[in-house]
Structure 1
Amino acid sequence: MKSAEEIIEILKRSFNTPSTKDEKLKVVVLCIIISTTFWFFSALNKSDYVTQINYPIKVVYNDSLYVALSEIPDKLPLEVTGGGWDLMTRSFGFSMSPLVIELDNPVRDNYRLASNLRQDIAPQLDPVSINYILKDSLIFNLDERATIDVEVVFDSTQIKLAPNRKVTSSILVEPNRLIISGPKSMLDTIKRPIIISAGDSEFSKNVDQKFSIENFGTDLISTNIEEITVKFEVTELVRREVELPINPINFKNTNNSFEPNRVVVSYDILVNETRSVDSLNLVLSADYAKLKKGDNTIPIRIAKQPSFIENLELSAIEVNLKDND
């Protein structure tokens, strides 16, 4: 193997010997590499360097009982003094066994003072010495892992129907129970029951549709199902009319009458409804006791109305009293 003096002599001859421009450039680069290498290894032999390193931390807890709400610390920053070789190996994480911190009840025992960890770390770094620990403490943000069973309902108040449509059945939700798992503190804030909304959907016919379960805004909460099925019937309403008489009440004077004595009744009814509206199940009346003296009018009252009609309107809302004397 050639000595350093021989290598330098060869380099000198290379510069003195006529050569191309590219060959001289190669020699210059080689000189830079060699000098840098000499400087690097010389620097590593010094013993009074000060630098910062991260010492590895391993936190052990029962993850079937507890869940981390934020990232668990996995390193502790230190300012250290030592030789170049020792600092280089530790800067790359070599020769450092992780400091194991066991947490039996991390909800209650949720921190470690950094100063109390020094005695455990120092022997692992020898011959590198610790100047300062650059963090006051290690915080472990964990919570109990919990599970709740809640009811799922569909928000019927927010159902948007196409014109002249009506929900004509109970609303079926399958499944109607939801199992939610996650940090106890987060589960305690969940409103119950879980309400599923149809959003901007508009329905014109029977519904048999899947709706997604919300993700509660965090990956820490999970559910046993991702969607539910909602079923209910939607039926068309049709507008119909019928002319009906107005029944007089408390008219003791037979000479008194009123007009109109019949009105047109408009109403909505389900398209599949077979029952009809007549004077037997829809009764209108004008009560003389309700006479308005100022204008001789009596309001028309709906005395009886069938349950299968809705949105009822009258062509007149009052009658005018007539004296036939």
Structure 2
Amino acid sequence: MAKAIPTSRPIRLTKILVSLLAAALFWIMNSLNRDYHSLNIEYPIRFLYNDSLYVPVSPLPQTITVNVSGVGWELLGHSLLPLQAKPVDYYVRNPLRASAINTSSLTAALAEQIKDVRVNYVLADTLDLNFDRRLSKPIRIMVDSARIDMAPRFVITSIINVTPSHIQVDGPERLVSGLPDTLRLMIPRKRIADNYDEELPVSAFQHPRLNASTNRVFVSFEVAELLSPQPPVSDQIQRVAAPAPTRQETGRSAIRTNRARNRPNRDR
């Protein structure tokens, strides 16, 4: 018959461990409430400037490193939950002349906002500022018709519609001023033999500091098939001086148009 295992010893060990844990926790909390320490913490920051006239050339920091002093328990709260604090506001008065954050004024602003600890200084390691004037430029969007790949005996028989025909690009003046006035898109489809109506991406303005009003446009045009081959170039030259065809001859067209698609006009 198996003997029962006594349970008094595991219970005694559990009580000892609980007592040690409670004592350690009491010591830590007592130490945090009495000891005065200094600590570097990350604190959120918000930059205020006239964003209708100026734009940062490089990304602005979301947080700053601040050295603070205080009771250990209060410092622990700031180090564990830095991003839940209200961001400190930093005013950029003259963006084109501002090259770095003024740590003195920022320290004073932090001291007014953080009341439970003492703000000693702001670490000026990555506090550079770089602004430029904001510029907006309309850019015309066209299709490179000379490089459209048509199937044999098929030709374009209508204007090439592009919607929208212009894209507004916004960003730093030094970038926007160098953009072309017109952007020509390539038609990716090969051997086109039917009416064309597709949405094309516009990837020329993917710089992180540029904002485009749209990154896609609609392109459409009609296509027809030639029933007879085009005459050689020499024959075309000889026919330049030939008399104009009569109305009856004109009606005998050598072009057969494709059935038009019933699609709404995308022109705005």
Q: Find the structure with the greater CA-based Rg.
A: 1
1:52 aligns to what? 40
Normalising by structure 1, report the TM-score: 0.58
User: 218, 232, 235: which is aligned to 1:228?
Assistant: 218
Unaligned runs of 5+ in 2: 1-5, 243-268
Per-residue CA distance 1:133-160 (angstroms, 9 max, x = gap): 3224623344433322222211012211
Structure number with greater CO (CA < 8 Å, separation at least 6) is 2
Residue 168 of structure 1: how far off its partner (Å): 4.5
Counterparts in 2 of 1:122 and 1:77: CA distance versus 1, 3 Å? same
User: 121, 127, 133: which is aligned to 1:144?
Assistant: 133
Whether 2:198 is the aligned partner of 1:199: answer: no
Unaligned runs of 5+ in 1: 1-17, 241-266, 270-280, 283-301, 309-325
1 or 2, which has the higher helix percentage? 2
- Counterparts of 1:95-114 in structure 2, within 5 Å, are 98-114=87-103
- Counterparts of 1:234-313 in structure 2, within 5 Å, are 234-236=224-226, 238-239=228-229, 267=231, 304-305=238-239
Q: Distance in 2 between matches of 1:43 and 1:187?
A: 58
Query: Could you tell me the percent identity over the aligned residues?
Result: 25
1 or 2, which has the higher strand percentage? 1
Counterparts in 2 of 1:133 and 1:34: CA distance versus 1, 3 Å? same
Residue 28 of structure 1: how far off its partner (Å): 3.1
Q: Distance in 2 between matches of 1:131 and 1:174?
A: 58
Whether 2:153 is the aligned partner of 1:164: answer: yes
Q: Distance in 2 between matches of 1:177 and 1:127?
A: 55
Residue 227 of structure 1: how far off its partner (Å): 1.4
Counterparts in 2 of 1:69 and 1:165: CA distance versus 1, 3 Å? same
Counterparts in 2 of 1:113 and 1:42: CA distance versus 1, 3 Å? same
Residue 203 of structure 1: how far off its partner (Å): 0.6
**Alignment size in residue pairs:** 235
Q: CA RMSD in A?
A: 3.8
Residue 130 of structure 1: how far off its partner (Å): 5.1
Residue 55 of structure 1: how far off its partner (Å): 3.5
Normalising by structure 2, report the TM-score: 0.68
Letter in 2 for 1:62: N
